[in-house]
Amino acid sequence: MTKTLEFVFDPAGPNAYLAWKALPPILERIGATLVYRPVSLGGLFKLTGNRPPLVRYADSPAKWAYEQLEFERFIAAHRIPFRMNPVFPQNTLTLMRVAVACEEAGSLDTFVPTAMAAMWEQERDLGDPHVIATMLGEAGLDGLALLARAAEQDIKDTLVAHTEAAAARGVFGVPTFFVGDEMFWGKERLAQVEAMLALG
């Protein structure tokens, strides 16, 4: 029986990128398959009352400083090629609608590494449809066709449904992982994720 790890994601969050970059050795050790679950991070925040860390820790400089320290430690420990995007935060609603269009077309496995790298290695503005189209074209996808599909109501509705379904499972942010019905939030939980997969 193939072990499956569900990855609830939106590239808008840098921690989603960092966790994703750290996943391959875990998947290889366990022999697990990764399944992508695209959601709207902004939509999740609205549904669950969550807020991004920069806002959440605005009144606690010491807490925010420690979060940044752990962030840098994670990057160093996993040797991740991370570059803070100067356009941050970004509105990724169109991008995630494109993700759903790619999911429909069977090209989500191409979309995810392309979008992650564009956001957190190449410092691109993925709130700009022209940038999205160019990025997709460089990956061998039909960017204009995918953007057109992403603008159709059923794709928009599907992203909303994905996001609502995630919230109903208890998801409040990214990265979130599921091993069966067990939920794990945050890049700091990867050891727990691996341990649960190993029990499979």
Instruction: Tell me the per-residue pLDDT of 78-130, one tens digit each, with 9 for 90 and over.
Output: 999 999 999 999 999 999 999 999 999 999 999 999 999 999 999 999 999 99
| Confidence label for 1 from pLDDT (cuts 50, 70 and 90) | low
Q: Which DSSP category does 183 fall into?
A: E
**What is the spatial distance between Cα 85 and Cα 44, in angstroms, rounded to a whole number?**
22
Instruction: Tell me the per-residue pLDDT of 10-47, one tens digit each, with 9 for 90 and over.
Output: 999 999 999 999 999 999 999 999 999 999 999 999 99
The CB-side HSE value for 187 (13 A sphere, CA atoms) comes to 20
| Confidence label for 52 from pLDDT (cuts 50, 70 and 90) | confident
The dihedral over CA atoms of 46, 50, 54, 58, expressed in degrees to the nearest 10, equals: 110
pTM above 0.75, yes or no: yes
Instruction: Check whether 55 has a pLDDT greater than 90.
Output: no
